């Protein structure tokens, strides 16, 4: 594991701020767009979703640099996540001009798999980080809770419908990814 130095601290703070900003932006965008998210591609949701991905990527770079996923084979998980998150970003960037995901050409539909795959890998990373115990307190558990965003919002959709799912999604984004970002930015020394 890499010791925290002033250069690394200077890199960790912006990553935390980007994570908090991206999660909050996407949550707000989701609430503004509302149920129309389920009708097709919405520009505000797409743009704020890209901000979210940038923030998560910044956080994953920190996780990789500090080996917060461990020193064994799990140390490669953040790099796989970086690839899938990059694919998710590219999908959003290239989705402008399409009304729905059904209109995507085959190659873009393949790239579309990066979104759910990245969310699954975030959950796996959260589990790995909790088990590794390299972080303490909320920093140990927030990556796991953040990684549960996708299953939680899917369960909310099934149990309460689309509107409920949109609200749960926004609250979960801010309450997990957003809070994690603020803690990382405010207390980079706790990442060791």
Could you tell me the CA-to-CA distances from 185 to 50, 59, 62, 78, 94 in Å, in that order? 20, 10, 11, 19, 31
- Residue 1: the pLDDT is 45
Rounded distance between C-alpha atoms, residue 25 and residue 51, angstroms = 7
Using the structure block, give the residue that is written with the tokens 């965008």. 29
Token readout for 8 is 């690394």
What does the pLDDT look like over 58-116, one tens digit per residue?
999 999 999 999 999 999 999 999 999 999 999 999 998 899 888 999 999 999 999 99
Residue bearing tokens 């590219």: 90
pLDDT band at 190 (very low <50, low <70, confident <90, very high): confident
Q: Model confidence over 18-68: pLDDT tens digits? A: 999 999 999 999 999 998 988 889 999 999 999 999 999 999 999 999 999
**Total-model pTM:** 0.92
């Amino acid at each position: 594991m890499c010791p925290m130095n002033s250069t690394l601290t200077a890199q960790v703070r912006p990553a935390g701020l980007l994570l908090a900003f991206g999660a909050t932006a996407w949550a707000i965008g989701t609430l503004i767009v509302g149920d129309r998210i389920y009708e097709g591609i919405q520009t505000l949701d797409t743009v704020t979703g890209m901000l979210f991905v940038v923030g998560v990527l910044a956080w994953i770079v920190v996780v990789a640099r500090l080996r917060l996923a461990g020193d064994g084979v799990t140390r490669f998980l953040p790099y796989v996540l970086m690839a899938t998150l990059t694919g998710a970003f590219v999908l959003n960037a290239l989705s402008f001009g399409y009304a729905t995901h059904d209109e995507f050409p085959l190659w873009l539909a393949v790239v579309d798999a990066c979104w759910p795959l990245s969310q699954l890998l975030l959950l796996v990373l959260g589990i790995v980080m909790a088990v590794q115990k390299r972080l303490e307190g909320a920093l140990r558990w927030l990556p796991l809770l953040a990684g549960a965003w996708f299953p939680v919002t899917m369960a909310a959709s099934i149990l309460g419908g689309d509107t409920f799912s949109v609200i749960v999604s926004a609250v979960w984004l801010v309450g997990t990814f957003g809070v994690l970002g603020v803690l990382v930015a405010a207390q980079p020394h706790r990442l060791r």
